[in-house]
Amino acid sequence: MIIIDTLQQFGIDYHFQNEIQDFLSKQSLSLGDDGVLLSFDSDINLVNVSLSFRLLRQNGYHASTNMFNIFLDKDGKFRQQLINDLTGMIGLYQASQHLVEGENILDQANAFTRKNLHNALPQLHQSQASLIKDTIEHPYHLTLGRFNIKNCIKSYETEHGTRGLLQECAKMDFNIVQSQHIRELSEVRLWWRELGLTRVLDFARDQPVKWYMWSMATLAHPTLSEQRIDLTKFISFIYLMDDIFDVYGTLDELLLFTDAVNKWEVDTNKQLPNSMKIFLKALFDITEEISYKILKKHKWNPFYSFRKAWTRLCNAFLVEAKWFASGHLPSSEAYLKNGVISSGVHVLLVHTFFLLGQGLNKETVDLVDNLPGLVSYPATILRLWDDLGSAQDENQQGHDGSYTELYMKEHRSATTESAREHVLNMIVNTRKKLNEEYLRPSSFSPSFKKASLNIARMIHLMYNYDKNQRLPALEKHTKSLLYESIPLR
């Protein structure tokens, strides 16, 4: 289990994918009635149990929380002497991130470890305290694996005091994959420049690196190069359509624009501004081009699913535009229901599903077209995270409209702080539901399930704005992942 964990943290597990899955499958079958691995020897400890539980769930196996019963006292609480096992406490905290709804023992484990790890900080050496703080703020399950490889290698070398073959292999692999990502980004930049939309839509964002980071996070496996490039193209249109509704179009123009998207026709409406026609033609062309590519490769035409995703997004944008124009404030429930669609996550994941080309059949296509939990839960997380950040700005500008604002209007006694706490709890509960969807047996491929989790992990970076409306964490990771290789010895 330790070797598997190290391989995954170093980002080189994909070289041993079959061997790892075979081993974990056997481990999951060796769980006893009490949920404890029968392969454990008599020295069952918190480190081993937490690691086994985390790795099984991390890789899609529904390990039982009964594994932790042996660490509870007669009152059903975690035994206090466990706080002396710092490594075990870290492991339990990491394991607790994989909880689903109703797993009270993991809720308790999370609170127990977080509290006692915080309490231990003043007694620790600086390097150890720094590790604990980073663990609490960025647990593995909520962090994108590739974004953490450098830190994992550094921590491993600090702890073990050696620079062995495994670390050097991980460094070389990181640099090789980084070179591949740079080539992909260059291809995206070239496509974007030749498309020329920024010359027509001068208000539109010109952020191919940011768009590519979404794809790099969503489709993390190094072999998915073509899929990352194609997905980035679609992501650019999500951002541009958002700009058309937020910045450019009048309500009358947006009504015409939405009608054109619903009909999937450009030329029928002469009143539509020329810039919008050019945008729509580019969107329709890329949709048809990549649909044909997928049809040739996977023998399934995704065109109607793609079209449905775009019309759904456009209609949701229009609903928000009408709210804004009329001054009508919806209920928080209605706002969130529409906001899950206007987040654009469903567009991203529908396209991801077909680009992966795994498990394509009528059942899975019908599922993905109708916003299953693997689609709606990360979309909910994005909408709520985005609103947490924008609510601060809107308070400063005197504007209404975020979920937090609407919630406070419906709950007059709520303060800004209590409303934000409510939204954070909603995010936590939605993550539990997403965890459960990931573990639930379904017709969706493991790759698609991981893509859904990865989008949820990326959201915090994409919407963690500072006071200057910049994204320092995203900028830091972008620089590290794309432009700073790891020196070899």
Of 29-38, 80-89, 142-151, 197-206, the least confident: 29-38
Q: If you search the block for the tokens 């995270």, which residue do you land on?
A: 385
CB 430 within 8 A of CB 384: yes
For residue 152, the surrounding DSSP H or E stretch is: helix 149-160
410 and 477 housed in the same domain: yes
**What is the pLDDT averaged over residues 4-30?**
92
How high is the pLDDT of residue 393?
A: 41
Structural domain boundaries enclosing 74: 2-142
> Among candidates 150, 155, 149, which has minimal Cα distance to 133?
155
Q: How confident is the model at residue 475 (pLDDT cuts 50, 70, 90)?
A: very high
What pLDDT, in 10s, does the model give residues 168-187? 999 999 999 999 999 999 99
Check: CB of residue 307 under 8 Å from CB of residue 237.
no
229 belongs to a structural domain: yes
Q: Give the count of domains, the chain.
A: 2
470 pLDDT higher than 90: no
- CATH code at position 472: 1.10.600.10
- The verdict on 190 and 235 lying in the same domain is yes
Write the pLDDT tens digit of every residue in 374-430. Answer: 999 999 999 999 988 754 444 333 344 689 999 999 999 999 999 999 999 999 999
H/E segment holding residue 98: none
User: Do 189 and 42 fall within a single domain?
Assistant: no
Indicate whether 248 belongs to any domain: yes
Q: Which residues contact 353 (CB under 8 A, 6 or more apart)?
A: 364, 368, 444, 448
Question: Does residue 128 lie within any of the structural domains?
Answer: yes
Same domain, 175 and 125: no
In a domain, 149, yes or no: no
In a domain, 106, yes or no: yes
Q: What tens digit of pLDDT does each residue of 120-167 get?
A: 999 999 888 988 999 999 999 999 999 999 989 988 887 776 668 899
**Residue 115 sits in a domain of what CATH number?**
1.50.10.130
**Domain identity same for 206 and 293:** yes
Identify whether 275 is part of a domain.
Answer: yes
The rounded distance, in Å, linking the Cα atoms of 116 and 118 is 5
384 in a domain, yes or no? yes
Residues 288 and 410 in one domain: yes
The residue that leads in pLDDT, 165 or 313, is: 313
- Domain match, 259 and 376 both: yes
181 plus 127 within the same structural domain: no
Neighbour count for residue 226 (Cβ, 10 Å)? 14
Locate 432 and state its tokens.
Answer: 């539990």
Please check whether residue 295 lies inside any domain of the structure. Answer: yes
**pLDDT attached to residue 33:** 58
Residue 40: φ, ψ to 5°: -65, 145
Q: pTM here?
A: 0.93
Could you tell me where the beta strands, DSSP code E, fall in 288-378?
none
- 314-343 pLDDT tens trace: 999 999 999 999 988 899 999 999 999 999
Please, what sign has the CA dihedral across residues 344, 244, 246, 338?
negative
Within this chain, do residues 224 and 272 fall inside the same structural domain, yes or no?
yes
pLDDT computed for residue 310 by the predictor:
99
Q: Are 333 and 200 in the same domain?
A: yes
88 with 195, same domain: the answer is no
Instruction: Provide the 8-state DSSP code for 310.
Output: H
Residue 11 contacts residue 173 (beta carbons within 8 Å): yes
In terms of phi and psi (left: phi > 0; alpha: psi -120 to 50; beta: otherwise), the region of 4 is alpha
pLDDT value at residue 41: 52
User: What was the pLDDT predicted at 37?
Assistant: 60
Using the predicted structure, report yes or no on whether residue 272 has a pLDDT greater than 70.
yes
CA–CA gap between residue 260 and residue 267 (Å, rounded): 9
User: 380 and 431: one domain?
Assistant: yes
Q: Is 296 helix (H, G, I), strand (E, B) or coil?
A: helix
